[in-house]
Amino acid sequence: MIVYVRLLKESFSFAINALRNNKLRTLLSLLGVTIGIFSIIAVLAAVDSLDRKIKKDIGSLDNSSVFVFKYCFGPTDVPDWKMEQFPDVSYDEYKMLKNELTDVQTVCFQFYAGRENVKFESKTISSIAVIPCTYEFSDIEKLDFKEGRFFSEQESNTGANAVVIGYEIAKSLFDGLSPIGKDVRLYGQRFKVVGVLKKVGDRMISFGSNPDTTIYPTVNRIRSLFGDNAEKFTPIIIIKPAKTIDDETLKAQITQKLRNYRGIKTGQDDNFFINFLKGATEMIDQTIGFMNMIGWIIAGFSLLVGGFGIANIMFVSVKERTNLIGIQKSLGAKNKFILLQFLFEAIILSVFGGIIGIFLVWLIALLLTNALDFEFVLSFWNITLGAGLAAFIGLISGILPAISAARLDPVEAIRSGM
């Protein structure tokens, strides 16, 4: 064990000397490894950061959620004009599904609504997203509260004038005051604030509006004001399935219940769509995976060049130290000792280049995080991967030079070095 520690120490010393004595040659050789590791880790860090941001943005909504309404999230063979003729889902259908579906955790009814103005005393803020919904909405979308609560089942069913408001709405209208219990005006009506959400921040991808600038009134209060057929609202039923049921079984159950309720005959097409949020997130995951693959391909070419650079410098190192190799072997050094000596040196040189590449990624990530409203994350896993790849490139690149050094005849090596 002591021999190998000493061997590693000597190899490290030789690597340092190579850096000192042949700065330009070593720098050019290590440049390929540095660029390769930089490329891979930069791409992985960027993709990881993007993936984390996207999942954080869409993470407020349960990935298993199912959306039932007249439109389709993805591509469909149904033409737009035909979809427009489909009937909207109704509040009665929401109650029917809630009562008759057995393998679900909860069912929610909401309106997709346009943006509106919200007032408090003399202050007004415009273009605020409005999501009228039933009380189950808080069980489907993960809402974190700064103050107060979501409206109760009783408030939801009776159509109470209760609302929950987002962080930015509270900040703009109340300017540090507690909004709980105070009235705001929406659609010309008074609504009492029962809850204020915590700040979410900007989102890159969002299924729906940003909670910071959203107000949530009870859907039955809005139904009492505008009825069920107002063109400004698109009703939707959101279902959170039980973990024990698979997608196809749930889809079949919902389809059967709705077809029976609507009196759709056998052979007639469905006049509604069942949209799985999981499909959208899987598409995002595929995109992220494709970006990772492209990054690996691009960086792979850089690593190949870097490997040739390390191999080149090691062949030169063997040539320069031929006489020393001969002396070592004549004094009893075994082939394995010589092999490991040059192999360790190649790995150390390559890891130097990798560390520089990782440091550059960290520096750029730090600068971009401070300059942009986006957190670039260089994870411990990516750092470990970068160092491991650098060591692997050094190992592969140093094998042939190390073997050629180990096979040198001691007499010929001493003679050629004189």
Nearest to 16 by CA among 244, 253, 317: 317
Residues 16 and 139 in one domain: no
Over the stretch 319-369, which tens digit does the pLDDT of each residue have?
Answer: 767 677 677 667 666 777 777 777 777 787 788 888 888 888 888 888 887
Asked if residue 326 belongs to a domain, the reply is yes
Task: Please give the helix or strand (H or E) that residue 197 lies within, else none.
Answer: strand 189-197
Structural domain including 230 reads 87-271
Residues 364 and 220 in one domain: no
Residues 289 and 267 in one domain: no
| Contact of 132 with 216, CB cutoff 8 Å | yes
Residues 123 and 206 in one domain: yes
- Mean pLDDT, residues 208-235: 89
If one counts every other C-beta atom within 10 angstroms of the C-beta of residue 9, the result is: 11
Asked if residue 156 belongs to a domain, the reply is yes
Give the confidence band of 150 by pLDDT, cuts at 50, 70, 90.
very high
| Contact of 344 with 11, CB cutoff 8 Å | yes
Asked if residue 75 belongs to a domain, the reply is no
Asked if residue 192 belongs to a domain, the reply is yes
Domain total in the chain:
2
Domain boundary pick from 209, 239, 271:
271
What lies within 8 Å, CB to CB, of 137 at 6+ separation is: 108, 110, 131, 150, 216, 238
Over the stretch 268-284, which tens digit does the pLDDT of each residue have?
Answer: 888 899 888 765 566 66
pTM of the model: 0.63
Asked if residue 123 belongs to a domain, the reply is yes
Asked if residue 68 belongs to a domain, the reply is no
